[in-house]
Structure 1
Amino acid sequence: MTAPVDVVARVGLLLRTVAQFEPAGATTTQISEASALARPTTHRLLTSLAQQGLLQRVGETALWQLGPELHFLGRSAAPRYDVTHLAHPFVRTLAVETGESAFYSARRGDESICLIREDGAFPLRSHVLNHGTRFPLGVASAGLAILAFLPGPEREEYLDRTDLTGAFGPEHTAEKVRQRLDATRAAGYATHPGLLVEGSWGMAAAVFDPDGTPVGALSLTGVAHRFSDARRPELGHLLLAGAHSLSHRLAQRS
């Protein structure tokens, strides 16, 4: 007997895929390849989503973008989920104090999603993270910080079922990720030494909800020489101080 097709899962996959191409948009073929769905299936679902206002197709370019209905739905849900107005001052302070690019990323299931970016004064910048960038947990400094402080059974269950090596290479075996998670818990903050883009380092500290569950992370990225052995403790202290204060603000809000 053929297993039923999970249409809702495919719709969610397509919406997330289109979001990766914002704001420029993407062709049907690009979305099909990125989502690993057949092109006819992709086109049929994209067309249906556009009819509901969840996507739109841009003029003569025929590029797909997220639609206006998502904006209105998001505004309705924002009071329960949006913490960017709380996080923004902390991100800005990190950028000013360090000169590096600073970020806030939120956890969404098995991923971290960059919601805020502020660039510091140092002219050489990393472009690993931008608004809307998603990485699996355990990849990039924010995802390391979040995963490191999840409950042990939940963390191990994730590592047992997730293969990060296919997309991110041999430095992301479960064993090597575990070693970085151990180092993160020992230091209190994560360090990501140029494993995504050579010469681009990142550091992050987890942000917690009132129950002590990591819900996001403050992070910094920059060129390798700006993250020297001598400077990392200072950057880690600033990240931890900001993350602690933001966690406290989240607790006050609830």
Structure 2
Amino acid sequence: MDESPSVVRRAGALLRALAGFEPAGATTTSLAETAGVPRPTAHRLLTALAAEDLAERDGDTGHWHLGSECFLLGAAATSRHDVTPLARATVRRLAAETGESAFFSVRRGEETVCVLREDGSFPIRSHVLHEGIRFPLGVASAGLAVLALLPERERESYLATVDLAVEFGVVHERTSLAERVRVTRERGYALNPGLIVEGSWGLGAAVLDGHDVPRWAISLTGIEARIAPRQEQLGQTLLRAAHAISVQVASGRGRS
């Protein structure tokens, strides 16, 4: 039996796990656990990836990092897949206007990946999100915003099969998640009232491609004392920002 597809899947899982640990890097054990790969297999694959410059190991700490070839591959793919240039100015403006940390995330399968972060002027910041971190759809405001606007069949299939409570706690069990999806669809923006880290609130709005499919999200995070009183104001601000980027994407100035 050809094991090549399995090897590729595991190598891909390790690379995605590595991205989530940057810039600090991670041990072989941590990467194996995150990627769901046996440790001996993880070490073997990471060594093979290092031989191709797709991974590298710090000689002092023993931590693994993404290799230089990942940067080159990413740069080559930018012209086809990257809409962050469109979002960057908006993210910076949101951070400046609100004083909170602003983010841009992209959907990848059943996850969202944070690809852009801009901190506001308020000195107390949330560190739940950083560039490269991944969350399942429905976890964090960006993933909830995307999930809520997926086509109904895809959304309901996901809600019927996913089990987020094991990793993220009972507040993410299916009934509670479905209710948050319903509320998000009603008001347009997503709210995460400290469900990942107590006291750290987030708001998110989906960005649509040229076919009205949610492929990205823009979000804000901050402490409860600052976000809660301004929830509706910030939510509407995010919706306007998300709509503006969606219009740019649909008009051909971004990728659809």
Structure 1 CA distance, aligned partners of 2:160 and 2:12? 24
Unaligned runs of 5+ in 2: none
Structure 2 CA distance, aligned partners of 1:24 and 1:222? 23
Render the CA deviation track for 1:28-53: whole Å, top value 9, x for unaligned.
22222332322211111111111111
Q: % of aligned pairs identical? A: 54
Larger deviation: 85-94 or 32-41? 32-41
The CA deviation at 1:127 is: 0.9
1:12: which partner in 2? 12
2:194: which partner in 1? 194
TM-score for both structures, normalised by structure 1: 0.95
Structure 2 CA distance, aligned partners of 1:232 and 1:30? 36
Render the CA deviation track for 1:212-233: whole Å, top value 9, x for unaligned.
00011111111111123x5211
Render the CA deviation track for 1:58-104: whole Å, top value 9, x for unaligned.
23333211111111111111111111111011111111111111111
1:233: which partner in 2? 232
Which one-letter code corresponds to 2:221 in the other structure?
A: T
Unaligned runs of 5+ in 1: none
1:111-190 equivalences in 2 (<5 Å): 111-190=111-190
Q: Which secondary structure state, in structure 2, belongs to the residue aligned with residue 85 of structure 1?
A: helix
Structure 2 CA distance, aligned partners of 1:198 and 1:63? 29
2:44: which partner in 1? 44
Structure 2 CA distance, aligned partners of 1:154 and 1:36? 25
The CA deviation at 1:119 is: 1.1
Which one-letter code corresponds to 1:148 in the other structure?
A: A
Structure 2 CA distance, aligned partners of 1:36 and 1:106? 23
Structure 1 CA distance, aligned partners of 2:100 and 2:155? 30
1:203-222 equivalences in 2 (<5 Å): 203-222=203-222
TM-score for both structures, normalised by structure 2: 0.94
1:18-29 equivalences in 2 (<5 Å): 18-29=18-29
Structure 2 CA distance, aligned partners of 1:60 and 1:223? 36
Q: State how many pairs are aligned.
A: 252
The CA deviation at 1:129 is: 0.6
Structure 1 CA distance, aligned partners of 2:123 and 2:156? 39
2:241: which partner in 1? 242
Preserved CA contact (<8 Å) 2:140 2:202:
yes
The CA deviation at 1:3 is: 9.8
2:101: which partner in 1? 101
Structure 1 CA distance, aligned partners of 2:63 and 2:189? 40
2:90: which partner in 1? 90
Structure 1 CA distance, aligned partners of 2:184 and 2:231? 13
1:77: which partner in 2? 77
The CA deviation at 1:24 is: 2.0
Q: Which secondary structure state, in structure 2, belongs to the residue aligned with residue 61 of structure 1?
A: coil
Preserved CA contact (<8 Å) 2:21 2:132:
no
Which one-letter code corresponds to 2:147 in the other structure?
A: L
Larger deviation: 218-227 or 57-66? 57-66
Preserved CA contact (<8 Å) 2:21 2:133:
no
* Alignment root-mean-square deviation, CA: 1.5
